[in-house]
Chains A and B, each alone.
Chain A
C-alpha cells in the first residue's frame, strides 16, 4: 500500500517562502496569484494490507516525526 502525506504550514502561520514564490510569479508576469503556500509531500511504501491500521500508523508517524504540529498540519491519503 502507498501512503501520501502532505504537510503544510497551518493557516495563520506566516509562510515567507510561499510569499517569495508568489512575488517571483508576479515578476514573471503571472498576474492574479493572490496567495502561495509551500509545503512538502512525503510518499511511503507500506507493507501493511489493512487500510484502517495503515492510516492509524501513518497518522502516528505524522504526529511523532513527519509534521511539527506546532506549526504544521498534515493530510494522509492511501492508495
Chain B
C-alpha cells in the first residue's frame, strides 16, 4: 500500500497527513509541487491542509495549476483515490476535480474548533466505510474559507447521487450550503473535506476518530 502526500509552498498539514497514512500501514512518499509525475504505482494521493501559495488570488487557485496537480488529475481520471483536506479540498474544487467552490466563512472569522460535530452521509466509500452511514462523529476544523457553495442544480445532483460525504450537524461552522462538509466525485474516489481527520489519529492529541479514513483506505487496498 502506497500513499503520496503532496507538499505545496505553504502547506502545513503535510507531515500530519504523512503520519496518518503511515499509522494505517501505508508506505508514504512525499511529493513536491514542482514534480511532474507521481511515484508509481501509488494507491492514494493526499492533498494536505495549509495555505498553498499564500492563498494568493483565491485559496487553492494557484496550486490547482501546479505541475503535480496535472499528474493528480490524470491519476483521478484513471480511477485513482484522492483525498483533499481543508486547503486540499479547495485545490480539488479549483482544479475542477470536484464541483462547487469554497468561499470566505459566512461569519468572516477563522473558525478553529477541536471537535466539530459531523454526520456521515455516505458510508459506502473507502474513505468513509470505517465510520458507516449515519455515524455521528467529531473532527477538528480550522479554516477561513470553508463556506461550500454551488448552484441549486449542482447541490440537488450531489445529494441525489449520494455525493455529500459529510455534513456539519449545525450551521455554526461556516455557512456552507446545506451544511456540506465533504463532497465526493461521481465515482466516489475523490473526497474533499474541510474537517481534519489527520489531526485526530492519536489519543495523545485528543481523538482517534479520524483514523477511520486511513484505516478504510488501507482496507480497500489491502483487499485489492
Interface size class of B (residues with CB under 8 A): 20 to 34
Chain B interface, DSSP helix/strand/loop, else mixed: loop
Interface size class of A (residues with CB under 8 A): 10 to 19
CB-based contact B65/A17 at 8 Å = no
With a CB–CB cut-off of 8 A, which chain B residues contact A71?
A: 101, 103, 149
CB-based contact A68/B104 at 8 Å = no
CB-based contact B108/A14 at 8 Å = no
CB-based contact A65/B101 at 8 Å = no
With a CB–CB cut-off of 8 A, which chain B residues contact A14?
A: 106, 175
Question: How long is the Cα–Cα vector from A70 to B148 in the complex, in angstroms?
Answer: 11
With a CB–CB cut-off of 8 A, which chain B residues contact A16?
A: 103-108, 147, 175
B45 → A minimal CB distance (Å): 22
Residue-wise interface mask of A (12-26) relative to B, using a CB-CB cutoff of 8 A (1 in contact, 0 not): 011011001000000
Residue-wise interface mask of B (50-78) relative to A, using a CB-CB cutoff of 8 A (1 in contact, 0 not): 00000001100100010000000000000
The chain A residue with its CB closest to the CB of B94 is A68
CB-based contact B65/A68 at 8 Å = no
Is the CB of A66 closer than 8 A to any CB of chain B? Answer: yes
A-B contact count (CB 8 A): 34
- Contacts A65-B57, A68-B101; is A17 near B94 (CB within 8 Å)? no
Question: How long is the Cα–Cα vector from A64 to B149 in the complex, in angstroms?
Answer: 19
With a CB–CB cut-off of 8 A, which chain B residues contact A68?
A: 58, 61, 94, 101
With a CB–CB cut-off of 8 A, which chain A residues contact B58?
A: 68
Name A17's contact: one of B99, B108, B151, B175 (CB within 8 Å). B108
CB-based contact A20/B61 at 8 Å = no
Please list the residues of chain B having a beta carbon within 8 angstroms of any beta carbon in chain A.
Answer: 57-58, 61, 65, 93-94, 99-101, 103-108, 147, 149-151, 175
What are 23 pairs between A and B in contact, CB < 8 Å? A13-B103, A13-B149, A14-B175, A16-B103, A16-B104, A16-B106, A16-B107, A16-B108, A17-B104, A17-B108, A20-B108, A64-B65, A65-B57, A66-B57, A68-B58, A68-B61, A70-B93, A70-B99, A70-B100, A70-B101, A70-B149, A70-B151, A71-B101
